[in-house]
Amino acid sequence: MDLLSAVLLGILEGLTEFIPVSSTGHLLLATHFLGLKVSATFAVFVQLGPILALGWLYRAKLGRVFSTAHSDPASRRFIISVALAFLPAMVIGALAHDVIKAVLFETPALIAAMLVAGGVVLLFVDRMKVTETVTEADAVPFAKALALGFAQCLAMVPGVSRSGATIVGARALGFSKRAAAEFSFFLSLPTMLGAASYDLLKTWDQLDFSALAGLAVGFLAAMIAGGLVVRWLLDYVSTRGYALFGWWRIILGLGALALLSLGY
């Protein structure tokens, strides 16, 4: 893969990782229609860029939470709630990893259909009247955190969107729009890091570092784009909601289905 393609795919990953449009779906459709072959190494490393960007942007809060966990019940509560939400994905993801990668990731029509279906759901949720009982991402009841973890597992189907599944689940559970997006950010740290680590373990014998320049520029592009999106997204969804992302998913999914029906 040439450097320009690596940069474009890195930017695509970073721009879509934290918004509810499915970064995996975008990458898989882009590589399918552009005829690009992405190595397992690149696919893993490009995911690490947004993780690093998110960790850096929230470094003060994360440092405070972990440094005070021994003495502050609120910090311990936050850590436990994120851990509970991560637990279902950790277990189910490990059990279903091979099937997901071998079958679901190789079905562009399914990805496009999930983009459309998810877009319709987002439009519905955006208009849904919610009694907001959770307004702070660091004060999530344990039962709701665990339920949100199971909602996140829907994103194992490419095209569903990890952030989309968690945001929709959070809204259904009474989260404010801002709290839903922010808790999705925090939950993405262990989820994405765990998924990337597990992918590294499963594909260790396939790793190829011969194209280090492509890996580096893809990683950096994803990190920068991901950081920009995180800074913008919370304020946007707090005031304007999710309709923009719902319509984008529908338009992209229908466009992809049309191209696939023409034999592309």
Confidence of residue 2 (pLDDT cuts 50, 70, 90): confident
Question: Average pLDDT of 92-102?
Answer: 71
Q: What is the mean pLDDT of the chain?
A: 88
| pLDDT per residue as tens digits for the range 133-151 | 999 988 899 999 999 999 9
Question: Average pLDDT of 40-46?
Answer: 78
Confidence of residue 104 (pLDDT cuts 50, 70, 90): low
231 pLDDT exceeds 90? no
Range of weakest confidence among 54-58, 91-95, 202-206, 260-264: 202-206
Residue 190 has which token pair?
A: 């262990």
Give the percent of the chain with pLDDT over 70: 92
What SS3 state is found at 175? strand
101 pLDDT exceeds 70? no
Question: Average pLDDT of 89-94?
Answer: 84
203 pLDDT exceeds 80? no
Total Cβ atoms within 10 A of residue 60: 8
Predicted local confidence at residue 124, as pLDDT: 92
Residue with structure tokens 């969804």? 237
Predicted local confidence at residue 24, as pLDDT: 85
Predicted local confidence at residue 103, as pLDDT: 57
Separation in Å, CA 35 to CA 26, 27, 45 = 14, 12, 20
- Residue 92's domain spans which residues? 3-261
> How much is the pTM?
0.85
Residue type, 196: A
What SS3 state is found at 134? strand
- Tally of structural domains, the chain: 1
Residue type, 119: G
166 pLDDT exceeds 60? yes
Distance CA 256, CA 219 (A): 26
Higher pLDDT, 118 or 208: 118
Predicted local confidence at residue 107, as pLDDT: 81
Question: Average pLDDT of 94-111?
Answer: 72
Exposure string (b/e) for 17-32, b if CB count within 10 Å is 16 or more?
Answer: bbbbbbbbbbbbbbbb
Predicted local confidence at residue 105, as pLDDT: 60
187 pLDDT exceeds 80? yes
41 pLDDT exceeds 80? no
Predicted local confidence at residue 156, as pLDDT: 84
Question: Average pLDDT of 62-68?
Answer: 94
